[in-house]
Amino acid sequence: MSKPKLAIAWNSSCGGCDEAIVDIEEQLLDVAAKVDFALWPCAMDFKYSDVEMLPDKEITVALINGGIQNSHQKHVVELIRKKAQIVIAFGSCACLGGVPALANLTSTQEIMRNSYIDSPTVVNPEGKIPKAQSSYMGHSLTLPELFPSLLKLDDVIEVDYFLPGCPPTKKLILEAITLVLENRLPARGSVLLPMGSLCSSCERNESKPIDIAISSFRRIHEIEADPNLCFLAQGILCMGPATRDGCEAACIQGHMPCTGCFGPTKGADQGAQMIAALGGLISGSTKEDGQLAAASLPDPAGSFYRYSMAASLLGRKRDETRGTIDGKNHSH
Ligand code: SF4
Ligand code: SF4
């Protein structure tokens, strides 16, 4: 009998999710003994034409990381969806947009201009910006079209399960693969993580006083933080109250506040939930007190939605003038 087939694909992400799979170390050999890899561009020389030749639903499970930002990525994930029985949005970029989705707050034109003209390390005296179609000495070149905003995976294809994390931990990756191989997956559409917030499993939760009064926020490097006390009680922004449990408080264990990489708790908007949680912790009662505390928070959008912008209420700043690099607008 043939072994189950596993496909792993990479879209707009840093590559850390692929790295995390390699980081399951020797247990990767156990996984490899139980599956046949059908696609893993980061590690093996598969061609997309190999996947095209497979019968539909031949791939047992696909772990797809990264958000979808261009026409090539859309084509690849649609192909994988057709060939796979189970698709898992793997990592926070696929589930929620991740850090690359913070670019949704700016326009495609600004991104291209910054990347190809304004960036201090770029030398481009003619100010050339890549186009989807171009020709040079009689040869034509077609590049993927850049979308006006980065989309999470389930904006583009149907997704069966979600495993957020930046990246998902070794334990969670092995658990997810085991659930598939042992046919013990929960209801379709589930997030493969515990339901509660990070605070519920954080060792510092017990040190959180009932009354926290924050007059201004401080960053971790600005004070000598107490390694046993809840970060919020020390006036340091910690996204624990609005972040899904599952990472075993990895950053807190390393004496760093949570930045929210496991995304929101069930059904919540991560930023709105965190702002609501902070609302009761600000000292003073006047509008000015609130404004003073808010002003001490650097980059509120990046702090509250660092990993979940594409899934947020704040959503994407949609400007009618935004288009792709070839000047066309795309709707999804
Ligand atoms: S706010 Fe942060 S430090 Fe405090 S209990 Fe929650 S996760 Fe732990
Ligand atoms: S503590 Fe927060 S930022 Fe760190 S791994 Fe866990 S969810 Fe991610």
The pLDDT > 70 percentage for the chain reads: 95
Residue 132: pLDDT above 50? yes
Mean pLDDT rounded to a whole number for the chain? 91
Per-residue pLDDT band at 214 (split at 50, 70, 90): confident
Mutational test site, ligand 2, from 17, 92, 166, max ligand atoms within 8 Å of CB: 166
From the CA of 243, the nearest ligand is 2
CB distance 259 to ligand 2 below 6 Å? yes
Centre of ligand 2 to C-alpha 253, Å, is 10
Per-residue pLDDT band at 161 (split at 50, 70, 90): very high
CB contact set of 248 (below 8 Å; sequence gap of 6+): 169, 171, 201
Most confident range (mean pLDDT) of 22-26, 42-46, 139-143, 257-261 is: 257-261
The pLDDT > 90 percentage for the chain reads: 76
* Atom nearest to 243 CA in ligand 1: 7
Tell me the Ramachandran region of residue 305: left when phi exceeds 0, alpha when psi lies from -120 to 50, beta otherwise: alpha
Residue 294: pLDDT above 90? no
Residue 279: pLDDT above 90? no
Helix axis angle, 170-181 relative to 27-34, nearest 10°?
A: 20
Q: What is the pLDDT of residue 28?
A: 92
Q: Are 293 and 280 in contact (CB under 8 A)?
A: no
Residue 11: pLDDT above 80? yes
| Helix (H) or strand (E) run with residue 42 in it | none
Q: What is the pLDDT of residues 177-212, one digit of tens each?
A: 999 999 999 999 999 999 999 999 999 998 877 778
Report the pLDDT averaged over residues 156-167.
98
Cα separation, 275 vs 159, in Å, equals 29
Residue 326: pLDDT above 60? no
How would DSSP label each residue in 239-287?
Answer: -GGGSBS-S-SHHHHTT-----TT-PSTT--HHHHHHHHHHTTBSSSSH
Could you tell me the CATH superfamily of domain 5-97+152-181?
NADH:ubiquinone oxidoreductase-like, 20kDa subunit (3.40.50.700)
Per-residue pLDDT band at 321 (split at 50, 70, 90): very low
Instruction: Give 13's strand partners.
Output: none
Token pair listed for 159: 């997704």
Instruction: Give 282's strand partners.
Output: 214
Per-residue pLDDT band at 332 (split at 50, 70, 90): very low
CB distance 199 to ligand 1 below 6 Å? yes
**Cα-only R_g, the chain:** 22
Token pair listed for 263: 């995304």
Q: What is the pLDDT of residue 287?
A: 82
CB distance 231 to ligand 1 below 6 Å? yes
Q: What is the pLDDT of residues 107-127, one digit of tens each?
A: 889 999 999 999 999 999 999
Report the pLDDT averaged over residues 143-159.
95
Least reliable range by pLDDT among 104-118, 128-142, 261-275, 308-322: 308-322
Cα separation, 87 vs 321, in Å, equals 34
Q: Indicate yes or no: pTM above 0.85.
A: yes
* C-alpha atoms less than 13 angstroms from C-alpha of 153 in its C-beta half-sphere: 33
Cα separation, 330 vs 325, in Å, equals 11
Q: What is the pLDDT of residue 280?
A: 81
Q: What is the pLDDT of residue 295?
A: 87
Per-residue pLDDT band at 245 (split at 50, 70, 90): very high
Q: What is the pLDDT of residue 293?
A: 83
CB distance 225 to ligand 1 below 6 Å? no
Q: What is the pLDDT of residue 211?
A: 77
User: Which one is predicted more confidently, 331 or 10?
Assistant: 10
Cite the residue boundaries of each domain of the chain with CATH code 3.40.50.700. 5-97+152-181
